[in-house]
Amino acid sequence: MTYIIGLLSVVFLALAIMIVNKSIALSKGIQGKEDSDSPVDGANNSNAVGFLVFMVVGSIAAAWSFFHSKPDFLPVAASEHGLKTDQMFWISMGVITFAFFVTNVVLFVFAFRYRYKKDNVATFYPVNHKLELIWTVIPAIVMAVLVFTGLRVWRDITAQAPENSVVIEVTGHQFGWYVRYAGNDDAKLGNNNFKLIDDTNSIGIDFADENSFDDFTATEIHIPKGVPVLLKIKAQDVLHSVYLPYQRVKMDAVPGMPTKFWFVANKSTEEMRAELGKNDFNYKLNCTEICGRGHFGMAITVFVDEPEDYKAWCLQQKPFLAQNPDYLAKVPEKLKAKAQKYIPAEAPAEADSTQAAAPEAAVTMAQ
C-alpha cells in the first residue's frame, strides 16, 4: 500500500510539473512571445483519444470490480421482506447503471467527437423545449416510481407486528446477547427493570408482573418458519445493533430506548443448508455496531425451524422461575399462588440452587 501511494505521488508530481510547464508555454504564446496561430497544441488530439480510452478502460474496470466483489455481496435473502428489498435494490441499481452509462458515454464521446479542429464552427443552439421536457419528465417519473414503491415496502416493514407474532426480547450488552421468550402459557413478555438486575437475573425480569412467570431465557434463538417474529430490542450499556444478514434484519439496540423489528423467515436452517450445500451452516445474529473490544464475538446462533419443531423446542424450555425458584420470594403475595405453578414439585436442595444460579442466559464472549 505504501509502495502504491509512493508511486502515485511520483506520478502526480511529474504530471503537476508538466502542467505548470505547459501553462508557462501557453502564457508566453498568448503574450505573443512565441509564434503560434492556434492556442491549442498537438496534445489536443491525444487528449481526445485519452477520453475514449478512459471510457473503455473505466467501463471494463467497473465491470471487473463488480464481478470480483460478488462473493462479498449479501447472501441469498431468507425472509419475506428481504426478497422485496433485494428486488428493489437490484431494480434501482439497474436504472442507475443504465443512466450512468448513457450519460457518461455521451460525455466522453462528445469530448472526442467535438474536440478542437481548426475549421470547426460551433453551432448556436439556444433552447429546445421538447428536449428539456423529455429529460425532465422521464427521470421524474422513474424517480417517483422508485420512491413510492420503496415507501410502500418501508411502510409494511415498519408497520405494527401482526397479532400472532412470536415475541422475542433481545438485549445487547458488552459483549453478548440475552434472549428472552414470552413463554409457553401466554404470548406476553413480562416487564423488566434495570434496577432488578443481579448475577442471575441478568435482564432484570420483574416478578411483580405475572406475565414474567412463564418467560424463559435461551442461549440460542429458535424461530418458526413462515410465522411473524417480533424482536423487541434493548441495550444495557452502549449502542449495539441486531443484524441477521440472511433475513435482512438490522436494527440498532439503544440504551434507554427500546426498538423493534418484525419479519417472517421463509427458509428453515435445513433448507438453507441444502441450498448452500453446507451441512454445518447456521444462521447468526451478529452485532453490527462497533461496541468495544469484544464486539467481534457478539454472535448468537439462530435456528429457523419448521413450526412444529419450533413448538417442540419451546415446550422443552423451562421458565426462568422454574430454574431459579429462589425468585418466588420476589413475587407479591397475591400472585404467589399463580407463580407456585412454575416451581418444581420437589424443593431444590441447597447444592442445586447454587447450580441453578449460574447465569445461563448469558452469552458471553469466549476470551
Binding site for Cu ion (CB under 5 A): 240, 287, 291, 298
Sign, CA torsion 216/219/225/231: positive
C-beta closer to Cu ion: residue 90 or 296: 296
Distance in Å, CB of 235 to Cu ion, minimum: 8
Q: Which of these, 367, 322, 354, 366, lies nearest to 199 by C-alpha position?
A: 354
> Minimum CB separation from Cu ion for residue 247, in Å?
18
Distance of alpha carbon 234 from alpha carbon 170, whole angstroms: 6
166 versus 287: smaller Cβ distance to Cu ion: 287
Pairing of strands 216-218, 283-287: unpaired
| Nearer residue to Cu ion within complex by CB, 91 or 254 | 254
Closer CB to Cu ion, residue 177 or residue 342? 177
**Which residues on neighbouring strands pair with residue 285, listed in sequence order?**
300
DSSP 309-324: HHHHHHHHPPPHHHH-
The CA distance from 302 to 298, in Å, is 13
Least CB distance from residue 259 to Cu ion, whole Å? Answer: 14
Whole-angstrom distance, CA of residue 337 vs CA of residue 246: 44
CB of 172 to Cu ion, least distance (A): 5
Report yes or no: 206 and 177 within 8 Å, Cβ to Cβ. Answer: no
What is the nearest approach in angstroms of Cu ion to the Cβ of residue 175?
6
Provide the minimum distance between the beta carbon of 236 and Cu ion in the complex, in angstroms, as a whole number. Answer: 11
Pick between residue 253 and residue 331 the one whose CB is nearest to Cu ion: 253
Rounded CA gap, 237 and 295, in Å? 13
Question: 234 vs 240, which CB is nearer to Cu ion?
Answer: 240
Grid cell listed for 119: 475549421
Closer Cβ to Cu ion, 170 or 304, answer by number: 170
| Strand blocks (E) in the chain | 166-173, 176-181, 216-218, 221-224, 228-235, 240-244, 249-253, 259-264, 283-287, 299-305
Q: For residues 190 and 181, give the distance between their C-alpha atoms in angstroms, rounded to a whole number.
A: 10
Q: How far is the CB of 288 from Cu ion (least distance, A)?
A: 8
User: What's the min distance (Å) between Cβ of 363 and Cu ion?
Assistant: 12
Q: By C-beta, is 241 or 247 nearer to Cu ion?
A: 241
Residue 85: CB atoms within 10 A of its CB come to: 17
Is residue 19 packed enough to be buried (19+ CB in 10 Å), middle (13-18) or exposed (0-12)?
exposed
Q: How far is CA 185 from CA 191, 199, 203, 307, in A?
A: 16, 26, 20, 17
Compute the least distance from the CB of residue 295 to Cu ion, in Å.
5
Residue type present at position 300: I
Alpha carbon separation from 263 to 83, 190, 216, 240, 250 (Å, rounded): 12, 22, 21, 19, 11
Q: Which is nearer to Cu ion, 181 or 243 (by Cβ)?
A: 243
